[in-house]
Amino acid sequence: MGIYDAILHGTGLGLLLSILIGPVFFLLLRVSIEQGAKQALILDIGVIAGDVFYIWLSYIGTAAIFLNPTYSKPLGILGSLILIITGVIPLFNKKPKEQKPIELKATNPYVLISKGFLLNITNPFVIFFWIASTGYAVTTFDGEGFLILLYFLACISAYMLVDFLKIYAAVKIRKRLTPLILHRITIISSIGIALLGTIMMFRVFKL
């Protein structure tokens, strides 16, 4: 595994993460439409800061453990199962569900960043997702710090780019986001997460 692999894997994860349908997705669209793209971008900085915080926390807290032969397999299996279960559960929801909008009246940049950050880190899925992703990165790149950093930089860059595109195209996107379309996007992203967990599981058993 080299630099190209780290960038490719990280970009793929970022694109997968960017199409996940959740409260943050709808909040970004809503803020973009009601308050403008600039305010939505500021909010998104807070959201991404929350992701970076959990990536850092996951790495310093679990990297050494994932590299320890005694714990790497059990933790790798646990992380894989979390991703697989997270991806599989939405597949059983046959009917599109209406997302409850989140109220956000703040316009101050610092408040928006804080709101985005807190909204992201209070979602339990986020920490589990990044712990599992850290385990995948550490085991895939054999603990090589530079490649792991490159992996996450590519991930966050791809994630940010798609988010910015969504924000600027919010008005047009909103008209096309019917419950059926949202349901299909959710299914695609869920399958992607389940596949990521399955790939990680295979890698763990090869350790």
pLDDT tens digits, 109-150 = 888 888 889 888 887 778 888 888 887 788 778 778 899 999
In this prediction, residue 158 carries a pLDDT of 92
For 15-55, the pLDDT digits (tens) are 877 777 666 777 777 777 777 888 888 888 999 999 999 99
- 8-state DSSP, 2: -
Burial of residue 51, with CB atoms counted within 10 A of its CB: 0-12 exposed, 13-18 middle, 19 or more buried: buried
Higher model confidence: residue 79 or residue 106? Answer: 79
Q: What is the pLDDT of residue 115?
A: 85
Q: Is the pLDDT of residue 98 over 60?
A: no
pLDDT band at 2 (very low <50, low <70, confident <90, very high): confident
Q: According to the model, what pLDDT value does residue 194 have?
A: 79
Cα of first residue to Cα of last residue in the chain, in angstroms, is 15
Contacts for 64 with CB less than 8 Å, ≥ 6 apart: none
Q: For position 153, what pLDDT does the model report?
A: 94
pLDDT in tens, 156-186: 999 899 888 888 877 666 666 667 776 776 7
Confidence tier at 154 by pLDDT (50, 70, 90): very high
- Which pLDDT value is given to residue 156? 93
Assess contact for 206 and 72: CB atoms under 8 A: no
Q: At residue 79, does pLDDT exceed 80?
A: no
Report yes or no on whether pTM surpasses 0.85. no
Higher pLDDT, 15 or 64: 15
Q: What angle do CA 21, 18, 44 make, to 5 degrees?
A: 95
pLDDT of residue 126: 82
Q: Which residue has the higher pLDDT, 203 or 38?
A: 38
User: What mean pLDDT do residues 83-93 have?
Assistant: 74
Six-digit token string for 174: 């909103």
pLDDT at residue 173, as a whole number = 67
